[in-house]
């Protein structure tokens, strides 16, 4: 097993497909879990330029299909990873370059509501 320090943006960018195996528990994060994530995100705004430990994700590469999409099985970190992907989608859906910056979910309540809508 090989561990790498990687920025979350680099980890998620590109053509990747993350597959949750059937033996993993279903998505179960609720408001208190999202609150912890939100607090971490808010902490990074006030922290210095030092990197923030986001947590670990353990993935296993799978054989690629005919497409150029890299496929990975999620072994650990599924809840956090799914929440990050949902948050990115929710924020991008809610806040477009053409909307007013005030629409961006600046408060936890609005952020959590966006994430929980898809449950």
**pLDDT tens-digit profile of 84-118?**
888 777 777 666 655 545 555 555 566 666 555 54
- Quick one: DSSP state of residue 102? G
Place of tokens 């960018």: 13
Closest CA to 55 of 2, 114, 5: 5
Nearest 5 degrees, angle CA 17-CA 22-CA 24? 90
| Residue 34 near residue 116, CB atoms below 8 Å | yes
* The pLDDT of residue 18: 87
Per-residue pLDDT band for 12 (boundaries 50, 70, 90) equals confident
Give the predicted TM-score (pTM) of the model: 0.66
In whole angstroms, what is the distance from residue 111 CA to residue 36 CA?
12
pLDDT, tens digit (0-9, with 9 covering 90-100), for 31-83: 888 888 878 777 776 666 666 777 788 888 888 767 778 888 989 988 888 88
Q: Identify any residues that bridge with 70 across adjacent strands, giving them in sequence order.
A: 16
């Amino acid at each position: 097993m090989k561990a790498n320090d990687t920025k979350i943006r680099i980890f998620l960018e590109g053509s990747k497909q993350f597959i949750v195996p059937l033996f993993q528990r279903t998505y179960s994060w609720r408001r208190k879990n999202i609150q912890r994530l939100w607090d971490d995100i808010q902490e990074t705004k006030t922290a210095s330029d030092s990197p923030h430990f986001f947590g670990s994700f353990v993935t296993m590469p799978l054989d690629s299909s005919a497409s150029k999409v890299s496929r990975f099985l999620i072994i650990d970190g599924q809840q956090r990873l799914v929440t990050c992907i949902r948050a990115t989608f929710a924020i991008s859906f809610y806040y477009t370059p053409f909307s007013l910056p005030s629409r961006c979910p600046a408060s936890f309540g609005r952020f959590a509501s966006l994430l929980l809508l898809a449950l």
